[in-house]
Amino acid sequence: MAPLLREAINRKKQHLRTKLIRSGFYQNHVQELSGYTLSELEKEYEAVKRLKKAELH
């Protein structure tokens, strides 16, 4: 994989991990999140967004 693409993926993964941790749902599972793929992190983030949106309504 090209170094730039790998770096972009790693930055996106770190961004999503940070957002998930700040959401409060994953504060005790930081190590677990580090093993997730980009696709898994994106799915988890979308699920958290849906949960938070549902809580507001």
Mean pLDDT (the chain) is 92
Per-residue model confidence (pLDDT) at position 2? 93
Statement: residue 15 has pLDDT above 80: yes
pLDDT tens figures, 44-53: 999 999 998 8
Say how far apart CA 40 and CA 43 lie, in whole Å.
5
Per-residue model confidence (pLDDT) at position 31? 87
Per-residue model confidence (pLDDT) at position 1? 66
Say how far apart CA 44 and CA 3 lie, in whole Å.
26
Per-residue model confidence (pLDDT) at position 14? 97
